[in-house]
Amino acid sequence: MSIRHTVTDSPIGELTLVADDQALIGLYFEGHRRRPRLTAGLGPRTGEGFEAPMAQLKEYFAGHRRTFDLELAPRGTPFEQRVWSLLTRIPHGQTRTYGELAAALGEPGAAQAVGNANGWNPISIIVPCHRVVGASGRLTGYAGGLARKRFLLDLEEGLDESGRLF
């Protein structure tokens, strides 16, 4: 499978999208804290084949899209895959805690492991790891930085002025 990438502007800075022949496998921020785990690298830069994700991201940032309809193939461990699948079921404008996700996975003591898997999510925004918050409802770590996390949650109208969730 050949891997390729493109870079696009967004309201939160440049985004790098990575795909193989079948699906989107990565979406990274400029300065992303955890680099992609792609041994083959990002492949050549091209705009071909990224029309759908770029159009859907544009709609999302304009406030016209709440869910994404794209072929995704994030690469990770079986546990990470389970966490990332669960992230895609958090509704737009809502949040969950790491503990709630661990409980939903049937592993109530695994909040830290969920947090680690969340941090390795290779498809930011589309697999909405920004919708996961600390047990107190406060924003916690985000590979794109807390300012971007706040922006995305505000875009989805999920925070009040104090930074606490409704």
Mean pLDDT of 19-30: 92
Domains of the chain, with CATH numbers?
Answer: 4-62 (no CATH), 78-157 (1.10.10.10)
Q: Per-residue pLDDT for 32 more than 60?
A: yes
pLDDT tier at 39 (50, 70, 90 boundaries)? low
Q: What is the pLDDT of residue 166?
A: 39
Q: What is the pLDDT of residue 14?
A: 94
Find the catalytic residue in 101, 111, 127, 129. 129
Integer Cα distance of 37 and 77 in angstroms: 11
Q: What is the pLDDT of residue 120?
A: 93
pLDDT tier at 9 (50, 70, 90 boundaries)? very high
Better pLDDT: 27 or 158: 27
| Contact present, 150 and 126 (Cβ < 8 Å) | no
Integer Cα distance of 3 and 18 in angstroms: 7
- For the record, the structure tokens of 162 come out as 């104090």
Q: What is the pLDDT of residue 46?
A: 93
Mean pLDDT of 38-47: 81
Better pLDDT: 70 or 162: 70
Mean pLDDT of 117-129: 95
Mean pLDDT of 66-89: 95
Q: What is the pLDDT of residue 43?
A: 87
DSSP annotation string for 37-73: --TT-S--B--TT-HHHHHHHHHHHTT--SS----B-
Residue 53: beta bridge partners?
Answer: none
Q: Is 58 a catalytic residue?
A: no
3-state class (DSSP) for residue 127: coil
pLDDT tier at 1 (50, 70, 90 boundaries)? low
pLDDT tier at 37 (50, 70, 90 boundaries)? low
Q: Per-residue pLDDT for 138 more than 80?
A: yes
Looking at residue 91, the DSSP 8-state letter turns out to be: P
